[in-house]
């Protein structure tokens, strides 16, 4: 088999461990010089492929690539750009082939979530549709944990750890001030349709550290009266209450509480701002003093408190993607298969992209408590191993010592392309 170069890119919202997957891809590819030549990274995702803006990762040392494992965010830049079908926009696919041919690219590794899986699936079909041999492997990533088939998604465990830790710490704060000041703290977390991240807030309370926490899941229609009654009962019993609310919570009318009428690049409602809405409901309904916060980018960039399990799984997915490509696979995604809960163990599996793209994995009903405001023991058993272990980055002068790659662009061979 002739040696081909590889294309790697990051897509969608970044995470604390997506660069660990990048390290897995690049380091594994470097171990197979008889199969893979250079690894070219797309600057800003698939846009880098379309505009021939390719980064030569060989310009960075082995030490720099290894340092990606403990560096958050997207080392090569990410994007929110979804390819249309080949029937709708054939020119983009023909452009991809031009770029791939010009740079002898035979492997395509796309690191992202559900929409990215769709892009990767479409690229994998170029072989049959346009007659260009390309092996496209999707590398799973999403803080939302909503990809199907895989037990969990790289990026989620670290966000879950951050939210669990933050909820516990903020709750300690509220408890200390509740006698004469704040009685309710509202924390807004990510999660458009699936409440996995919100559920992680429930881990803050345990048998040896009981905390009154109300969770608002997107899977449960928001009931104002029931919510206020729950908060009121907790405040009367404990003197305070913490609320973890998913950005995707919907009212009885089916509208997002945080929907301001804006749309992102994928056409999804651009959410954010549900925490002050919920806090206002508490103020108006119960007259309690409150504080609210939005985890936003902090939750997905917090590499300093990343889960060791998450880091290891993220790296393993990048490594497996290259190994699957070398073995001849196309249009697949490496997955995480849980072997046991206690002791926790897992292995690498494989899923067909056709079964992954555009499919969302919601919270199972049995993971939500009967009253709809908490997590069940089954959910706790599922979540707990994913936040376990510490994998601290190196520190310098009191701050994490993260790597900045050279990101040297390769010489362009084609004319410009407008997207």
Residues 6+ apart with CB under 8 A from 361: 145, 146, 147, 148, 194
Of 53, 60, 115, 144, the catalytic one is 144
Measured at the alpha carbon of residue 125, what is the angle toward residues 122 and 128, in degrees to the nearest 5?
A: 155
Query: What are 195's two structure tokens?
Result: 């409440």
Query: What are 86's two structure tokens?
Result: 């080949």
What's the N-to-C CA distance of the chain in angstroms? 34
- Residue 61 phi/psi, 5-degree rounding, is -70, 165
The widest CA-to-CA distance across the chain, in whole angstroms, is: 73
Cβ 374 vs Cβ 215: under 8 Å:
yes
To the query of whether residue 144 is one of the catalytic residues in this protein, the response is yes
Cβ 169 vs Cβ 43: under 8 Å:
no
Name the 3-class secondary structure at 344. Answer: strand
CA 357 to CA 338: how far, in whole Å?
Answer: 21
Burial 220-240 (b: 16+ CB within 10 A, else e): bebeeeebbebbeebbeebeb
R_g of the chain, CA atoms, integer Å: 22
CA 157 to CA 153: how far, in whole Å?
Answer: 8
- Residues carrying an active site annotation: 144
């Amino acid at each position: 088999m002739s040696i081909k170069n590889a294309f790697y890119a990051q897509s969608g919202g970044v995470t604390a461990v997506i660069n660990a997957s990048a390290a897995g891809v690049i380091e594994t590819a470097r171990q197979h010089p008889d199969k893979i030549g250079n690894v070219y990274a797309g600057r800003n995702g698939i846009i880098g492929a379309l505009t021939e803006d390719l980064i030569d990762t060989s310009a960075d040392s082995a030490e720099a690539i290894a340092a990606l494992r403990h560096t958050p965010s997207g080392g090569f830049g990410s994007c929110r750009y979804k390819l249309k079908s080949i029937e709708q926009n054939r020119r983009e696919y023909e452009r991809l082939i031009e770029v791939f041919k010009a740079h002898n690219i035979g492997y395509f590794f796309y690191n992202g979530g559900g929409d990215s899986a769709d892009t990767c699936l479409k690229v994998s079909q170029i072989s049959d549709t346009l007659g260009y041999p390309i092996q496209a492997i999707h590398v799973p990533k999403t803080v939302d944990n909503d990809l199907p088939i895989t037990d969990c998604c790289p990026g989620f465990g670290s966000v879950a750890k951050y939210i669990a830790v933050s909820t516990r710490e903020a709750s300690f704060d509220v408890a200390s001030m509740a006698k004469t000041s704040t009685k309710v703290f509202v924390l807004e977390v990510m999660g458009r349709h699936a409440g996995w991240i919100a559920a992680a807030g429930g881990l803050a309370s345990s048998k040896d550290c009981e905390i009154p926490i109300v969770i608002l899941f997107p899977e449960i229609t928001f009931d104002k009266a029931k919510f206020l009654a729950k908060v009121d009962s907790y405040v009367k019993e404990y003197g305070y209450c913490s609320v973890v609310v998913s950005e995707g919570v919907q009212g009885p009318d089916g509208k997002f509480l945080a929907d301001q009428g804006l749309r992102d690049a994928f056409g999804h409602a651009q959410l954010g701002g549900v925490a002050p809405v919920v806090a206002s409901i508490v103020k108006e309904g119960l007259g309690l003093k409150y504080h609210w916060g939005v985890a936003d980018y902090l939750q997905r960039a917090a590499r300093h408190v990343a889960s060791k399990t998450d880091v290891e799984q993220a790296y393993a997915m990048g490594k497996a993607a290259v190994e699957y490509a070398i073995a001849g696979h196309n249009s697949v995604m490496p997955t995480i298969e849980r072997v046991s809960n206690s002791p926790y163990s897992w292995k690498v599996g494989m899923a067909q992209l056709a079964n992954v793209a555009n499919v969302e994995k919601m919270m199972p009903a049995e993971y939500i408590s009967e009253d709809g405001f908490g997590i069940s023991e089954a959910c706790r058993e599922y979540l707990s191993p994913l936040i376990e272990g510490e994998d601290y980055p190196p520190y310098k002068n009191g701050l994490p010592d993260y790597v900045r790659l050279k990101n040297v662009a390769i010489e362009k061979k084609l004319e410009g392309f407008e997207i």
